[in-house]
Structure 1
Amino acid sequence: MRVVTTLFLMLIAALPARAEVNIQSVTSPGGLTAWLVEEHSIPFVALELRFRGGASLDAPGKRGAINLMTGLLEEGAADMDARAFSRASEALATSFGFDVSDDSLSISARFLTENSEASVALLRAALQEPRFDQEAIDRVRGQVLSIIQSDQKDPDDIASETFNRIVFGDHPYASSLNGTPDSVAALTRDDLIAAHDAVLARDRIYIGAVGDITPEELGVLMDDLLSDLPQTGAPMPPRAEVTIPPGVTVVNFATPQSVALFGQKGIKQSDPDFFAATILNHVLGGGSFESRLMNEVREKRGLTYGVYSYLVPRDLAETYMGSVSSANDRIADAIDVIRDEWAKLARDGVTETELRDAKTFITGSYPLRFDGNGPIASILVGMQMLGLPIDYIATRNEKVEAVTLDDVKRLADELLDPEGLHFVVVGQPVGLETTAGN
């Protein structure tokens, strides 16, 4: 029976992309709001919950508490220890996923319609009656400490933590949500209870559901699952003051290949020019082998296997980032080329051909995101968190197509700051030193 169920769930995950997504707004009797896409052809529901704030709500001196707490939500609840909870979810063919970022704590639930009541009761126990048994705390804490130890030896993670520390100062974004060995080791059960109450609250929840469920059924489900959560949680952190000094920071690390993470100030996802920025980034470094950076740094000069740029519009700060790796004696050349391409695009904008090709890719790839109930539920929640209208999916590609060559050229001049780029280089780069004052 378990094999059949597994195959069934795999089939669900592999459903083809939908050409049309009809979204309804549902309000529960208790006042909770969700977005729903009904799909009754298969007896299966995907439910996505997201709590704004995430690991940024860690209390002072308790960095890593919300991450550790999130890892414990499926390690026992109510009268079930970790093993009993796992057996219960397996018996129901129900899957739960718990994840946290600096901006949100996410819960993904997948369950069969016939088991919806029992599945929701199990998830409710995880959210509202977590056990936080000491044995589970010690085991998951050990896993987190192992991750922290591994990250301290990973050049990419070192570059990321160094860049964030420079850019975000004393904001929560400046440090890893995993915490430090000392902060995680010192966390107590009381700290985890406080972390739970800080983030799992009704005033910051967003809900998406896709599948074999009616609006009335979803309303009852939401109240059963969430109505007893506290109304308010911890105050949200302020916006981060993004300070990116131009120049280079070198972190000495014994490796034959240097890793560089670079960035400048970015653009909000709510900005009217965000679609122009998406096209701009696709041309510069987001279009993989079709991008200018890949063409100039890899194809023409052979300085790297890969170089990328990407927009990072967080809830409380925006950056425009990129990454590249190269041999220690060639990384300085790669950085020079990146700066040159950044400046060239800022000065000249994109070509008609680049604009057309970028639009074709961005609009053509969009429907591929809707490849199953789970991904669609996640998209619904993301749209709500961004304040997007309920018809956004139907109109999004029209907004991309409306971007003109002049729009991109103007934005390139306003956004791109080649002189303001900061590069964090982890390795033993030849010809590069830390800029004074960084």
Structure 2
Amino acid sequence: MAVTQPVLSIQHWELPNKTRVFFVQRTELPTLDVEWVADAGSARDGKQFGLATLTSAMLDQGVQGLTAQQIANQFENIGAEVQTFSNRDNAGMTLRTLVDEKKLSTAITLFRKILSSPTFAPTELPRVKSQIIAALKSQQEDPWQVAKNQFYAALYGEFPYAHNPLGNEKTVAAITRAQLQQFYRQYYVGANANLILVGDITEVQAKAIAATIAGEIPAGDTAKMWNPVAMLSQARTIRIHFPSKQSTLLLGQVGISRENPEYFPLMIGNTILGGMPMTSILYDNIREKNGLAYSVTSDFNPLRYRGPFLIGLQTKTASLAQSERLTQQLLKQFVNNGPSDFQLQSAKQFLIGYFPTTFSSNKNILAVVANMAFYHRPLDFLDTYEKNVSDVTSDQVKNAFQKSIHPSEMVTVVVG
């Protein structure tokens, strides 16, 4: 019997400090992509909103003996790129470097210093705070972002996904260097972290590099689990005045986590409803047949806990009421009736056809494996993906939507 080759050969091990390491060898280009990611996103802010974002943004702003500018110059001199990131669930850093021995050694050493011994330089803190506050002010000028922030606040209430990951002007301004250091000590630890390596190195090199990058970080403790997200029991509508000829409409509810057993029926159903560009039910009816919006999409954003299910569109203010009614009508019809066989097959073909683009670059592979690692997906998730998509039936989609989506209990946000 022929042995099926894995989609990706993912090697996995754990460092003594509990950091989970994932390695994919790719020899097409002489590069290495690295991501260190921890359960240190804005859900861990507490009441100091913006703490996770500011902590990650300050990581590369100084280490012992090197200023932020010197760090940037050293990476530039070897053609390497480093970036920090933070979102609701997680935070961390990425690195892209050439695998030339000297350049690789320099990049890994510098990456290790940033990760294991940031100074949270007091001279840089006011500038980075100002950048975040400027980003917050920019969001206030964007009706889509205004709607999205309000949607999360209304949907999640007291759950830590509710607030803007950037924080707000008051909380960001009040964050101290000591708070950054404490947050870093608590959450930037081995038991809370994953390290992903993708590129043109051997397994022996990967193990040495992993130990160099993450081996000195204290083991610490895994971040505590939250209580489940509470569902809304009735519909809620929020209307925000915004000086614009267009209105932004968001409609949704608490959706699913990555561990949901009906993940594939729900993903396929969403592809049919509003996920496929140009051919989804929402696009066909709202854009093509009625010309009410340039684009309309629906999306599940499954997070560690139950992320949102969200339908979004922008339309002329004069067409808002019609757009809102039609969106609600189409959603109810889909939940009640499920997809046709033709719609189901079209969605499967789209998802299976799109699947190879997931591996079109090392950067894409890094993102996919990092998601698998952080959300504890099985290592054969990619190998079984096509079968899991192919096996879904119309009844499974219908039943999954009827169980998870409740059109009469939606949060609606209108900005315009």
TM-score range, shorter chain: over 0.9
Segment drifting more, 356-365 vs 378-387: 378-387
- Seen in structure 2, the aligned counterparts of structure 1 residues 235 and 48 have a Cα distance that, compared at 3 Å, is closer
Matched, 1:96 2:96: no
**Residue 202 of structure 1 contacts residue 232 of structure 1 at CA under 8 Å; is this kept in 2?**
yes
What's the counterpart of residue 35 of structure 1? Answer: 22
Q: 1:76 aligns with which of 49, 59, 62?
A: 62
Is 1:395 the equivalent of 2:384? yes
Q: Give deviations 1:281-321, integer Å, cap 9, x for gaps.
A: 01111112101111111111111111110002121223211
1:162 partner letter: Q
Aligned twin of 2:201: 213
Alignment equivalent of 1:51, drawn from 30, 35, 38: 38
One-letter amino acid matched to 1:200: Y
Scaled by the length of structure 2, the TM-score of the pair is 0.93
The percentage of counterpart residues that share the same residue type is 25
- The reply on whether 1:419 has 2:408 as its aligned counterpart is yes
- SS where residue 333 of structure 1 aligns? helix
Query: Counterpart of 1:6?
Result: none
Contact 1:168 1:240 in 2 (8 A): no
1:29 Cα deviation (Å)?
Answer: 6.3
- Range with greater deviation from structure 2 (179-188 or 22-31): 22-31
In the TM superposition, what is the alpha-carbon distance from 1:209 to its structure 2 partner? 1.2
2:255 is equivalent to residue 269 of structure 1: no
Q: Deviations over 1:362-400 (max 9, x none)?
A: 011011011111221221121122222222212111110
Query: Which amino acid is 2:246 matched to?
Result: Q
Aligned partner of residue 49 in structure 2, secondary structure: coil
Q: Structure 1 residue 292 and structure 2 residue 297: aligned?
A: no
Distance across 2 between alignment mates of 1:53 and 1:32: 14
1:361 aligns to what? 350
Q: Structure 2: how far apart are the matches of 1:65 and 1:47?
A: 24
* Deviation of 1:121 (Å): 1.0
Report if the CA contact (8 A) 1:57-1:236 is conserved. Answer: no
Gaps of 5+ in 2: none
Deviations 1:201-251 (A, max 9, x none): 111111221112222222222222212222225843514533433142111
Can you give the 5+ residue segments of structure 1 that lack an aligned partner in the other structure? 1-17, 428-438
Q: Please give the alpha-carbon distance, in whole angstroms, between the structure 1 residues aligned to 2:405 and 2:43.
A: 28
SS at match of 2:360: coil
Match of 1:303 in 2: 292
Q: Quote the Cα distance in structure 1 between the aligned partners of 2:339 and 2:27.
A: 45
Residue range with higher mean Cα deviation, 242-251 or 396-405: 242-251
Does the C-alpha gap of structure 1 residues 237 and 158 become closer, same or farther in structure 2, counting only changes over 3 Å? farther
Matched AA of 2:39: R
Three-state SS of the structure 2 residue aligned to 1:258 is strand
Residue 177 of structure 2, aligned match among 176, 189, 203: 189
Decide whether the 8 Å contact of 1:201 with 1:230 is kept in 2.
Answer: yes
Deviations 1:139-190 (A, max 9, x none): 1111111111111222112111211111211222111111111111111211
CA distance in 2, matches of 1:54, 1:268: 16
Contact kept, 8 Å, 2:154 with 2:411, in 1: the verdict is no
Tell me which residue corresponds to 1:253: 242
The 1:253/1:29 distance shift into structure 2, 3 A limit, reads closer
Question: What's the C-alpha RMSD, in Å, of the aligned pairs?
Answer: 1.9
SS at match of 2:217: coil
Aligned partners of 1:33 and 1:336: how far apart in 2? 48
Q: 2-side partners of 1:170 and 1:29: how far apart?
A: 36
> 1:431 aligns to what?
none
AA aligned opposite 1:100: S
Q: Which residue of 2 aligns with 1:312?
A: 301
Q: CA deviation at 1:422?
A: 2.0
AA of the residue aligned to 1:275: F
CA drift at 1:30: 5.9
Aligned residue number for residue 26 of structure 1:
13
Counterpart of 1:86 in structure 2 is: 72
1:121 correspondence with 2:109: yes
Distance change >3 Å, CA 254–CA 401, structure 1 → 2: same
